[in-house]
Amino acid sequence: MPVIANLTDTNITVLLPELILVVFAMLVMLIDMFTSERQSDVRALLPWVALVGVLAAVHRCTVIWHDMPLSFQGAAALDSFALGVKLVVLIAAGLSILLSTGYMPSVSKQTGEYYALLLLCSAGMMVMGAATDLITVFLSLEIFSLALYIMCGLNREKPRGIEAAMKYFLLGAFASGFFVYGAALIYGATGSTQYNAIAASLAAGNNDSFLLYPGIALLLVGFGFKVSMVPFHMWTPDVYQGAPTPVTAFMSVGTKTAGFAAFIRLLVFALPAAQPVWGWAVAGFALITMLLGNFAALRQTSLKRMLAYSSIAHAGYILVGLASGVAAAASAAVFYLFAYAFMNIGAFAVVIMLERVGEGDALANRATGLAKRWPYLAAAMAIFMFSLSGLPPLAGFVGKFLVFKAAADGGWITLAILGMLASAVSAYYYLRVV
């Protein structure tokens, strides 16, 4: 049975990368507060200050690589899984900052607020990946969710952006309620919110199944919203289309990484004894998520909405590996998300380039003649689309291979085959872009 580092010391090293981001977020806000709009040269430094913070956090992650495993009062752990999640989130944050430098000043005057929120949001996501206590998961979930609600609505002159922010906020608050009730039921069933204690209680049979399984079901709903799992995905297309494109790019990777990290750590490390029950539920969600995401993407005329539905499908692929409950699914998911960060944010970078020339959000407008007008841009988009579709030998293929292999190794061979067939369907709408 997989175990979490059973350490009880208060080691602040576990949260140092997150604290670095918080310090730089405060620095960005201070610079923004004490500079006027006329000091444009100083305000232009804000994204680079934020980027330095991200790089400092990355450096700290590399320094502590050999100090694992570590624990912070049983509430958070630093192991290879948590460190991988932190690096994926930091990569997504760094790339999103680079995408935002020329984009955000055109849609909002609150650029300092935006970069501070981005850093705070990243810190919350990183804590969520390291959390080993349901209370810590909830706190980190709310930290990054509140930041994202504001970031989605920064373009106040765009009604669709305000609508996206309100929709995300209302549905997100609703999903948080499910999570809290689920955590309460798990606590009632096992007597603890810490993952080690929950796993020990289930292994010893000291639990109340009448509370345990409804609690797991409610937690599935809460996590399902964050990772865009069907049928809790309804917010995704509208929010992706209405939010500023750099925010959409960051959300598409960051929320999935944080959500799946907490999802995997809870199910695989804290609830392995209940896998015969939740495994079937996750498999069912994986199947309908892949099918709906891919077939809905086929019908889209907006490139951002198409990428939103494809994001839903990618959540389904990761769920395929998670259904097995094997430890290999955790490492497979981290690699998948690592590759997904580059290929999906890269695709949104091309979307931003096309938005700058005012081509609208119609898929036909973006795709027609792209190779003739901007051959290098078309070549980059082709690589990103090929990788998202899972064509070998690109990273997207390796990621899908690993999650499907984890499912097959866990006995879910039919589900893995269905995942491969669903991935083949996705090739059509990805390849029509290029």
Instruction: State the CB neighbour count (10 A cutoff) for residue 111.
Output: 21
Closest CA relative to residue 219, chosen from 254, 261, 266: 266
Instruction: Give the pLDDT confidence score for residue 86 in this predicted structure.
Output: 92
Instruction: Give the pLDDT confidence score for residue 190 in this predicted structure.
Output: 87
Q: Tell me the per-residue pLDDT of 250-282, one tens digit each, with 9 for 90 and over.
A: 998 999 999 999 988 888 888 888 878 888 899
Q: Tell me the per-residue pLDDT of 292-314, one tens digit each, with 9 for 90 and over.
A: 999 998 888 778 888 889 999 99
Q: Is the pLDDT of residue 5 over 60?
A: no
Which positions ≥6 away from 338 have C-beta within 8 Å?
84, 87, 88, 91, 395, 399
Amino acid at 406: A
Q: Which whole-number Å values give the CA distances from 175 to 82, 225, 227, 293, in the listed order?
A: 24, 6, 12, 20
Instruction: Give the pLDDT confidence score for residue 236 in this predicted structure.
Output: 86
What are the residue boundaries of the structural domains of the chain, listed by start? 271-434
| Percent of the chain residues topping a pLDDT of 70 | 91
Least confident of 119-123, 259-263, 351-355: 351-355
Residue 426 banded pLDDT, cuts 50, 70, 90:
confident
Alpha-carbon 171 to chain mean position: 17
Closest CA relative to residue 340, chosen from 86, 119, 88, 58: 88
Burial group, residue 1, by CB count within 10 angstroms (0-12, 13-18, 19+): exposed
Which positions ≥6 away from 32 have C-beta within 8 Å?
43, 46, 111, 112, 113, 116
DSSP structure class, residue 362: B
Query: What b/e readout covers 286-310, taking b as 16+ CB neighbours within 10 angstroms?
Result: bbebbbbbbebbeebebbbbbbbbb
Instruction: Give the pLDDT confidence score for residue 139 in this predicted structure.
Output: 92
- pTM exceeding 0.85: yes
Q: Is the pLDDT of residue 21 over 80?
A: yes
CA torsion, points 221, 257, 361, 110, in degrees to nearest 10? 100
Q: How far apart (Å, rounded) are the C-alpha atoms in residues 401 and 145?
A: 31
Q: Is the pLDDT of residue 54 over 90?
A: yes
Q: How far apart (Å, rounded) are the C-alpha atoms in residues 422 and 426?
A: 7
Q: How far apart (Å, rounded) are the C-alpha atoms in residues 315 and 5?
A: 28
Closest CA relative to residue 317, chosen from 186, 417, 211, 181: 417
Residue 357 banded pLDDT, cuts 50, 70, 90:
low
| Percent of the chain residues topping a pLDDT of 90 | 25
81 and 334 Cβ atoms separated by less than 8 Å: yes
Which positions ≥6 away from 71 have C-beta within 8 Å?
5, 6, 7, 8, 9, 11, 14, 77, 78, 132
Residue 7 banded pLDDT, cuts 50, 70, 90:
very low
Q: Is the pLDDT of residue 3 over 70?
A: no
Instruction: Give the pLDDT confidence score for residue 40 in this predicted structure.
Output: 67
Mean pLDDT of 115-123: 93
Instruction: Give the pLDDT confidence score for residue 377 in this predicted structure.
Output: 79
